[in-house]
Amino acid sequence: MSAMRVVVLGVTTGLGGRLASSLLAGGDTTVGLVLRHGDAERVRAAGIEPFLLDTDGSDLDGQLTRAFRGADAVVLAAGTGTGPGSLGAAVSSPAAQLCAAAEGCGIHRFVMVSAHLPGAADRAALGDQLDAYLAEKRAAEQVVRERELDWCVLRPGMLTDDPPLGTVRARPDGVPAVGDELSRGDCAEAVRTVLAQKITGVWLATTGSTPIEQAFAPG
Protein backbone atom coordinates (compact mmCIF):
# COMPACT_ATOMS: atom_id res chain seq x y z
CA MET A 1 0.00 0.00 0.00
CA SER A 2 1.49 3.34 -1.05
CA ALA A 3 2.03 6.11 1.48
CA MET A 4 -0.57 8.86 1.69
CA ARG A 5 -0.27 12.60 2.06
CA VAL A 6 -3.18 13.67 4.27
CA VAL A 7 -4.30 17.21 5.08
CA VAL A 8 -5.95 17.49 8.51
CA LEU A 9 -8.03 20.31 9.96
CA GLY A 10 -8.08 19.83 13.73
CA VAL A 11 -4.53 18.54 14.07
CA THR A 12 -4.10 20.48 17.33
CA THR A 13 -7.05 18.68 18.97
CA GLY A 14 -6.74 15.50 20.99
CA LEU A 15 -8.23 13.48 18.15
CA GLY A 16 -6.31 15.22 15.37
CA GLY A 17 -3.00 14.87 17.16
CA ARG A 18 -3.54 11.15 17.66
CA LEU A 19 -4.54 10.78 14.01
CA ALA A 20 -1.35 12.51 12.90
CA SER A 21 0.72 10.19 15.10
CA SER A 22 -1.07 7.15 13.65
CA LEU A 23 -0.50 8.32 10.08
CA LEU A 24 3.16 9.08 10.73
CA ALA A 25 3.67 5.67 12.33
CA GLY A 26 2.29 4.08 9.17
CA GLY A 27 4.68 5.99 6.92
CA ASP A 28 2.17 8.60 5.78
CA THR A 29 2.66 12.36 5.71
CA THR A 30 0.38 14.69 7.67
CA VAL A 31 -0.16 18.32 6.71
CA GLY A 32 -1.77 20.19 9.60
CA LEU A 33 -3.88 23.28 8.91
CA VAL A 34 -3.18 25.66 11.80
CA LEU A 35 -4.23 29.21 12.64
CA ARG A 36 -1.45 30.36 14.99
CA HIS A 37 2.34 30.58 14.66
CA GLY A 38 2.77 28.85 18.02
CA ASP A 39 0.72 25.89 16.84
CA ALA A 40 2.80 25.69 13.66
CA GLU A 41 6.00 25.32 15.64
CA ARG A 42 4.46 22.76 17.97
CA VAL A 43 3.11 20.49 15.23
CA ARG A 44 6.35 20.77 13.25
CA ALA A 45 8.20 19.46 16.30
CA ALA A 46 5.85 16.46 16.24
CA GLY A 47 6.79 15.61 12.66
CA ILE A 48 3.73 17.21 11.08
CA GLU A 49 4.03 19.64 8.16
CA PRO A 50 2.23 22.80 9.30
CA PHE A 51 0.35 25.05 6.91
CA LEU A 52 -0.49 28.38 8.54
CA LEU A 53 -3.84 29.76 7.40
CA ASP A 54 -4.61 33.47 7.51
CA THR A 55 -8.35 33.47 8.09
CA ASP A 56 -8.37 37.29 8.08
CA GLY A 57 -7.04 37.37 4.52
CA SER A 58 -9.11 37.54 1.37
CA ASP A 59 -7.49 34.57 -0.39
CA LEU A 60 -8.53 31.64 1.78
CA ASP A 61 -9.41 29.57 -1.28
CA GLY A 62 -5.94 30.15 -2.68
CA GLN A 63 -4.35 29.23 0.64
CA LEU A 64 -6.25 25.95 0.76
CA THR A 65 -5.27 25.19 -2.83
CA ARG A 66 -1.61 25.57 -1.87
CA ALA A 67 -2.08 23.50 1.28
CA PHE A 68 -3.78 20.70 -0.66
CA ARG A 69 -1.17 20.51 -3.42
CA GLY A 70 -0.01 16.91 -3.83
CA ALA A 71 -2.39 15.57 -1.16
CA ASP A 72 -4.25 12.27 -1.43
CA ALA A 73 -6.93 12.93 1.19
CA VAL A 74 -8.45 15.55 3.48
CA VAL A 75 -9.73 14.94 7.01
CA LEU A 76 -12.01 17.26 8.98
CA ALA A 77 -11.26 16.24 12.56
CA ALA A 78 -12.29 19.45 14.28
CA GLY A 79 -15.54 20.85 15.61
CA THR A 80 -17.92 22.86 13.51
CA GLY A 81 -15.49 25.69 13.86
CA THR A 82 -17.57 28.75 14.62
CA GLY A 83 -15.50 30.14 17.48
CA PRO A 84 -13.34 33.28 17.27
CA GLY A 85 -10.23 32.72 15.16
CA SER A 86 -11.51 29.44 13.71
CA LEU A 87 -11.76 28.56 10.05
CA GLY A 88 -15.51 28.47 10.46
CA ALA A 89 -15.51 32.06 11.65
CA ALA A 90 -14.12 33.09 8.26
CA VAL A 91 -16.36 31.01 6.01
CA SER A 92 -19.96 29.82 5.98
CA SER A 93 -18.94 26.22 6.68
CA PRO A 94 -15.48 24.69 7.08
CA ALA A 95 -16.87 21.47 5.61
CA ALA A 96 -18.07 23.28 2.47
CA GLN A 97 -14.81 25.20 2.13
CA LEU A 98 -12.65 22.12 2.52
CA CYS A 99 -14.78 19.98 0.19
CA ALA A 100 -14.73 22.64 -2.52
CA ALA A 101 -10.97 23.01 -2.23
CA ALA A 102 -10.50 19.23 -2.38
CA GLU A 103 -12.64 19.00 -5.51
CA GLY A 104 -10.77 21.87 -7.11
CA CYS A 105 -7.45 20.15 -6.45
CA GLY A 106 -8.62 16.78 -7.78
CA ILE A 107 -8.56 15.13 -4.34
CA HIS A 108 -11.23 12.44 -4.05
CA ARG A 109 -10.87 11.10 -0.49
CA PHE A 110 -12.57 13.14 2.26
CA VAL A 111 -13.26 11.99 5.80
CA MET A 112 -15.27 13.94 8.34
CA VAL A 113 -15.54 13.05 12.03
CA SER A 114 -19.06 14.04 13.01
CA ALA A 115 -21.85 13.80 15.54
CA HIS A 116 -19.76 12.85 18.53
CA LEU A 117 -21.66 13.26 21.77
CA PRO A 118 -20.19 15.94 24.03
CA GLY A 119 -19.27 14.77 27.50
CA ALA A 120 -20.60 16.42 30.67
CA ALA A 121 -17.88 19.09 30.77
CA ASP A 122 -18.34 20.02 27.12
CA ARG A 123 -22.11 20.03 27.47
CA ALA A 124 -21.78 22.41 30.43
CA ALA A 125 -19.41 24.64 28.47
CA LEU A 126 -21.71 24.71 25.44
CA GLY A 127 -24.74 25.50 27.60
CA ASP A 128 -27.51 26.99 25.48
CA GLN A 129 -25.32 26.48 22.40
CA LEU A 130 -25.50 22.66 22.57
CA ASP A 131 -28.46 22.35 20.22
CA ALA A 132 -26.84 24.74 17.76
CA TYR A 133 -23.60 22.76 17.93
CA LEU A 134 -25.36 19.49 17.10
CA ALA A 135 -27.39 21.17 14.36
CA GLU A 136 -24.18 22.45 12.79
CA LYS A 137 -22.77 18.92 12.87
CA ARG A 138 -25.81 17.67 10.97
CA ALA A 139 -25.58 20.53 8.47
CA ALA A 140 -21.88 19.86 7.90
CA GLU A 141 -22.63 16.19 7.29
CA GLN A 142 -25.18 17.12 4.65
CA VAL A 143 -22.66 19.36 2.92
CA VAL A 144 -20.20 16.47 2.66
CA ARG A 145 -22.84 14.01 1.47
CA GLU A 146 -23.78 16.28 -1.43
CA ARG A 147 -20.25 16.61 -2.82
CA GLU A 148 -18.73 14.64 -5.70
CA LEU A 149 -16.13 13.03 -3.46
CA ASP A 150 -15.28 9.57 -2.17
CA TRP A 151 -16.42 10.70 1.25
CA CYS A 152 -16.78 8.98 4.59
CA VAL A 153 -18.59 10.44 7.62
CA LEU A 154 -17.51 8.79 10.86
CA ARG A 155 -19.85 9.17 13.84
CA PRO A 156 -18.10 8.18 17.07
CA GLY A 157 -19.71 7.97 20.44
CA MET A 158 -18.58 10.38 23.14
CA LEU A 159 -14.82 10.73 22.77
CA THR A 160 -12.74 9.82 25.82
CA ASP A 161 -9.08 9.78 26.79
CA ASP A 162 -9.24 6.11 27.81
CA PRO A 163 -6.39 3.88 26.58
CA PRO A 164 -7.10 2.61 23.06
CA LEU A 165 -8.29 -0.99 22.74
CA GLY A 166 -7.57 -1.48 19.05
CA THR A 167 -11.16 -2.65 18.60
CA VAL A 168 -14.47 -0.95 17.77
CA ARG A 169 -18.10 -1.61 16.93
CA ALA A 170 -18.80 -0.20 13.46
CA ARG A 171 -22.18 -0.02 11.77
CA PRO A 172 -23.24 1.68 8.51
CA ASP A 173 -25.60 4.65 8.94
CA GLY A 174 -25.68 4.27 12.72
CA VAL A 175 -26.28 7.14 15.14
CA PRO A 176 -24.55 7.28 18.55
CA ALA A 177 -26.82 6.88 21.55
CA VAL A 178 -26.36 8.30 25.03
CA GLY A 179 -23.77 6.12 26.73
CA ASP A 180 -21.91 5.24 23.54
CA GLU A 181 -18.21 6.04 23.84
CA LEU A 182 -14.99 5.73 21.87
CA SER A 183 -11.46 6.56 22.91
CA ARG A 184 -9.71 9.23 20.87
CA GLY A 185 -6.94 6.75 20.14
CA ASP A 186 -9.35 4.21 18.68
CA CYS A 187 -11.19 6.93 16.78
CA ALA A 188 -7.89 8.06 15.23
CA GLU A 189 -7.17 4.48 14.16
CA ALA A 190 -10.66 4.22 12.71
CA VAL A 191 -10.06 7.34 10.61
CA ARG A 192 -6.71 6.00 9.40
CA THR A 193 -8.36 2.69 8.54
CA VAL A 194 -11.22 4.15 6.50
CA LEU A 195 -8.67 6.25 4.63
CA ALA A 196 -6.37 3.33 3.90
CA GLN A 197 -9.23 0.97 2.97
CA LYS A 198 -11.08 3.63 0.94
CA ILE A 199 -14.26 3.12 2.96
CA THR A 200 -17.15 5.39 1.98
CA GLY A 201 -20.54 6.26 3.41
CA VAL A 202 -21.76 7.07 6.93
CA TRP A 203 -20.47 4.87 9.76
CA LEU A 204 -21.10 4.68 13.48
CA ALA A 205 -17.99 3.76 15.50
CA THR A 206 -18.15 3.06 19.23
CA THR A 207 -16.35 0.90 21.75
CA GLY A 208 -16.58 -2.73 20.67
CA SER A 209 -14.73 -6.00 20.15
CA THR A 210 -13.94 -6.10 16.42
CA PRO A 211 -10.35 -5.31 15.40
CA ILE A 212 -10.37 -1.90 13.77
CA GLU A 213 -8.69 -3.15 10.60
CA GLN A 214 -11.64 -5.55 10.10
CA ALA A 215 -14.50 -3.46 11.46
CA PHE A 216 -15.39 -1.54 8.30
CA ALA A 217 -15.36 -4.45 5.88
CA PRO A 218 -18.44 -4.42 3.59
CA GLY A 219 -21.10 -6.89 4.60
CATH number at residue 63: 3.40.50.720
Instruction: For residue 9, give the 3-state DSSP assignment.
Output: strand
Average confidence (pLDDT) over 83-101:
64
Q: Are 152 and 199 in contact (CB under 8 A)?
A: yes
How many domains is the chain partitioned into structurally?
A: 1
Q: What does DSSP assign to residue 159? A: E
Taking all residues of the chain, what is their mean pLDDT, rounded to a whole number?
Answer: 87
Q: Which domain holds residue 30?
A: 5-215
What pLDDT digit, counting tens, does each position of 151-195 carry? Answer: 999 999 889 999 999 999 999 998 888 788 999 999 999 999 999
Give the pLDDT band (50/70/90) at residue 122: low
- Which residue, among 1, 38, 34, has the nearest Cα to 16 in the 3D structure? 34
Distance CA 152, CA 136 (A): 17
Strands (E) in 35-176, as ranges, are: 49-52, 73-76, 109-113, 150-156, 158-160, 167-172
- Give the global pTM: 0.88
- Which residue, among 57, 50, 55, has the nearest Cα to 7 in the 3D structure? 50
